[in-house]
Amino acid sequence: MLHCVKLVLCLTFLSCEAHVIRSKDSADASNVFGLTGLAKNNATDATFMQGDIAMPKQDGRTAFIRSSKWPDGTVPVEFDSSYSTAQKNIIIGAMSEITKNTNNCIRFVWRTTNHPVWLRIFPGQGCWSYMGKAMQKGPQDLSLQIPGCVHHQVALHEFIHALGFVHEQTRPDRDQYVRIQTQNIVSGQDHNFDVFSRTDTNMLGLPYDFGSIMHYRSDAFSSNGRPTIVPTTSVGKSWESRMGRGEKMSALDIQKLKKYYSCS
């Protein structure tokens, strides 16, 4: 039986409103995990923000939807039949880590006909998810390409997006902790390093987390192999080679997700 699960990131959206955002990946989006052998992220009915966050296309315009929580922390799921038992177990392991670390506050359950919205985990093009509960009815896609995206840490990262969190380095106070090396970013990909305004985000009163499972790698979207994100604090400098490379949630990830979902 599928175990309950939960995870966290520092930045979450406050309500369920649509806002036009500045230009995104107009076509395919590069994966943000530094993995080889992956197709670029693509979905016919969505565009992408920050590389792996899918956003519905509305009236031909790109817009982001501030994320909505899954009611009672319960997330119905179903697997595409293409996954092997071993692959399913890897993905279930990520869900179980979330559930265990949130004391069963966030639970993943098998989808039934009583669930109006559910996560459809399928081997699409690349590794990506919508943010929070983005649909009103029907399946909400979460793509884990076979075999490149079927890793514990990748599944964990995408499930946290699905729970309502974006990337750590998009916090409005980001520039107090890291410096973005724009000269090393692939041309046309600088929008992936935008920060959100304080009116659009809730940092939950918790500090910046260099070790978050939701942080970009130091070489994310690099055009030349050199760092695109450089920590500027004494604590941060010790994380430079490890940012975005963790295999499990950080203590702050857990704390933030529990706080967002009002877990005890």
What's the pLDDT tens digit per position in 94-118?
999 999 999 999 999 999 999 999 9
Both tokens of 230, joined, read: 């450089």
115 labeled part of a ligand binding site:
no
- The predicted model gives 165-174 an average pLDDT of 92
- Which of 56-60, 68-72, 84-88, 220-224 is predicted most confidently? 84-88
pLDDT category at 202 given cuts 50, 70, 90 is: confident
Both tokens of 55, joined, read: 């956003």
The gap between the terminal CA atoms of the chain, to the nearest Å, is 24
What is residue 189's predicted lDDT score, i.e. its pLDDT?
A: 87
Cβ(173)–Cβ(208) under 8 Å? yes
161 labeled part of a ligand binding site:
yes
3 labeled part of a ligand binding site:
no
How many residues make up the chain in this entry?
Answer: 264
CA distance 84 to 195: 38
CA distance 33 to 154: 8
- The helix (run of H) or strand (run of E) holding residue 13 is strand 12-13
Domain ranges for the chain: 169-249
Give the distance between the most distant pair of CA atoms in the chain: 52
Residue 224 has pLDDT above 90, yes or no: yes
**Catalytic annotation on 158?**
yes
- Which of 6-15, 46-55, 157-166 is predicted most confidently? 157-166
Question: Packing angle between helix 85-101 and helix 152-162, nearest 10 degrees?
Answer: 60
Note if the bond before 139 is cis, omega within 30 degrees.
no
Structure pTM? 0.84
What is residue 2's predicted lDDT score, i.e. its pLDDT?
A: 40
Q: Does domain 169-249 have CATH number 3.40.390.10?
A: yes
**107-110 and 74-79 as β-strands: parallel, antiparallel, unpaired?**
parallel
Which regions of the chain does DSSP assign to beta strands (E)? Answer: 12-13, 18-20, 46-49, 53-58, 61-65, 74-79, 107-110, 117-122, 127-130, 138-144, 178-180, 201-202, 229-231
Question: What's the angle, vertex CA 12, arms to CA 6 and CA 18, rounded to 5?
Answer: 120
What is residue 196's predicted lDDT score, i.e. its pLDDT?
A: 83
What is residue 68's predicted lDDT score, i.e. its pLDDT?
A: 86
Q: How much of the chain exceeds pLDDT 70, in percent?
A: 79
Only one residue has tokens 């967002």, namely 260
What is residue 144's predicted lDDT score, i.e. its pLDDT?
A: 96
Residue 154 has pLDDT above 60, yes or no: yes
Which of the following is catalytic: 17, 78, 158, 247? 158
